[in-house]
Amino acid sequence: MTVHNDASDRRDTVRRTRAERVADKASVHTGPIVVKIILLGLLDALSLYSLSILVYRQNWVFVAITAVATILVNWIYWQRGALAAKYLTPGLVFLLVFQLFAISYSAYIAFTNYGTGHNGSKEQAVTSLMQSAMTKTSNSPTYQIDVVRCNGELGFLVTMPNGQAKLGNGTTPLHLASGVTKDASGQAISVAGCSTLPFSDMLNMQSEITSLAVPLTMHPSDGSLRTSDGRVAYVFKSSLAYDASNSTMTDTHTGMTYRDTGIGAFTASNGQQLKPGWKVNVGWANFSKVFTSDEMRGPFLQVLIWTIEFSVISVVSTFVLGLFLAVVFNDSRMRGRKIYRSILILPYAFPAFLSALVWSGLLNEKFGFINQVLLHGADIPWLQSPLPAKIAILIVNLWLGFPYMFLVCMGALQSIPNDLAEAATIDGASAWQIFRLIKFPLLLVSIAPLLISSFAMNFNNFNLIYMLTAGGPINTNTGLNIGSTDILISMVYKIAFVGADRNYGLASAFSIVIFAVVAFVSAIGFRTTKSLEELN
């Protein structure tokens, strides 16, 4: 009887377990599903918007990438299981967009002449050149116009000599307009979908209206309409004639012919170029300019040497000071250690760029606290002379960096077992021998990777340089906009974004050089770290 009851209980338990599994699979949690639908819906909407823009620009490679990525993400999150993929997908997407794409695009730009005067395509350069050389034709008829705004853009509503009404703007040539209203004299005064500007608005927008050029046809050589009063317009034709078959641009006034020589600009036989040009692939020219050009090689080597000096001195000084303070405040006999530790990490708690701005005020030559109070009115040009500026940068970076080293060294020291020190003391080792032969090697094993990362961070420490000295004072020994305290990353910033001539291709080439230097130093450092671990 007991055996029968036990068998019945086991069957009931099995049935109950199966029922619970079926109920669990059949249960639907509406909250997570709603959140999933909303998030995937937003993602799909963003993808469709991006695809519409990419299709309009005929960028078919990115169309395919975006479509495949969208389908793959939806497939991952709508299938059952694949839990690891669901967690990894957001990180992989952000990695691809913000890391790999940025690196790949920078590498691509490094092999082009992309920069000021070489931003667009050849067709855009031809149009810009011909529009910039516009002059009024002597036999131009007078066109009656009204200035209109259509979809946020200014344009001309033109009454042609034959009575037709045409509409156009700076990018769209004149074309027949529909829904036109004319006055008693037959002049077009308004058009459907556009608003005619009143006289008061034309006065306020005089510069925009007078600079507006509306092409007569799709061919730039046919000229454009321009106005000086917003009432009548005249034909302006370019003094440059473009021959598409021979890829030449001829100045009709001087007879000079400029040819496409493959460098991204129309160039005359005497070397004179027409600007703007267009973007072309230049191969290794940017890298060759970095290492072989007399204009670049000297400044680059100076900046590279200072960058290495700055990074090495910063790492060593912050590590030594941080380690010293960690050893001091790791002694259990010291009273008030928590208060001292809290005070020491304050420089690390404040944003670095704010601290750099405060230090720039403290180091002011005439009114700074350091010169006026600490040095009793001395006139030391901390930020105006090359050597004092470099010393000031190293001091400020020591102030900003030692709390980090203090924290990591403190943690590493506390992780070393006290039994080792006690055993060494029993064997007759001094405190210095214990630290030098036991604690420091063990400390270095865990700290070495952080020292490498600190070197890489200081190698690209743009905030400190730019906020404290902006790379200055100017280095008069070079013809470039480079200062005595510029490091490679601030030099790249100035090449790319400062001044009238911005060379993004050259700046990208410098970025790759910086990456190679940091990667080389990091590889050596990690190999040394591995040796330390094996020795340990």
The 10s digit of each residue's pLDDT in 452-493 is: 889 989 999 999 999 999 998 887 777 678 889 999 999 999
* pLDDT band at 5; cut points 50, 70, 90: low
Report if residue 451 sits inside a domain. yes
What pLDDT, on the 0 to 100 scale, is given for residue 257? Answer: 93
Q: What is the pLDDT of residues 308-334, one digit of tens each?
A: 999 999 999 999 999 999 988 887 777
* pLDDT band at 507; cut points 50, 70, 90: very high
My answer on whether 263 and 129 are in the same domain is yes
Render the burial of 113-142: b for 16+ CB within 10 Å, e for the rest. Answer: bbbebbbeebeebbbbbbbebbeeeeeeee
Residue 532 has pLDDT above 70, yes or no: no
Percent of the chain with pLDDT over 90: 36
Report the CATH number that the domain containing residue 452 is assigned in CATH.
1.10.3720.10
Q: What is the pLDDT of residues 151-208, one digit of tens each?
A: 889 999 999 988 899 999 988 999 999 899 998 888 998 999 899 998 888 888 888 9
Report if residue 275 sits inside a domain. no
Summarize the confidence of residues 26-51 as an average pLDDT. Answer: 82
My answer on whether 255 and 304 are in the same domain is no
Report if residue 116 sits inside a domain. no
My answer on whether 341 and 480 are in the same domain is yes
What pLDDT, on the 0 to 100 scale, is given for residue 173? Answer: 92
My answer on whether 143 and 246 are in the same domain is yes
Report if residue 383 sits inside a domain. yes
Residue 306 has pLDDT above 90, yes or no: yes
Residue 23 has pLDDT above 90, yes or no: no
Domain that holds residue 441: 292-535
Report if residue 10 sits inside a domain. yes
DSSP character string of 194-212: -EEPPHHHHHHTHHHHHT-
Which among 267, 283, 311 is the end of a domain?
267
Q: Is residue 486 within 8 Å of 307, Cβ to Cβ?
A: no
* pLDDT band at 25; cut points 50, 70, 90: low
Q: State the Cα–Cα distance between residues 146 and 181, nearest whole angstrom.
A: 12
What's the count of helices (H) and strands (E) in the chain, helices before strands?
Answer: 21, 15
Report if residue 110 sits inside a domain. no
My answer on whether 340 and 248 are in the same domain is no
Q: Is residue 295 within 8 Å of 301, Cβ to Cβ?
A: no
What pLDDT, on the 0 to 100 scale, is given for residue 286? Answer: 92
Report if residue 405 sits inside a domain. yes
In the chain, the number of structural domains is: 3
My answer on whether 376 and 486 are in the same domain is yes
My answer on whether 61 and 202 are in the same domain is no
My answer on whether 62 and 129 are in the same domain is no
My answer on whether 450 and 486 are in the same domain is yes
My answer on whether 230 and 328 are in the same domain is no
Which among 251, 267, 283 is the end of a domain?
267
My answer on whether 406 and 344 are in the same domain is yes
Q: Is residue 119 within 8 Å of 496, Cβ to Cβ?
A: no
Residues forming beta bridges with residue 236, ordered by sequence position:
136, 224
Report if residue 160 sits inside a domain. yes
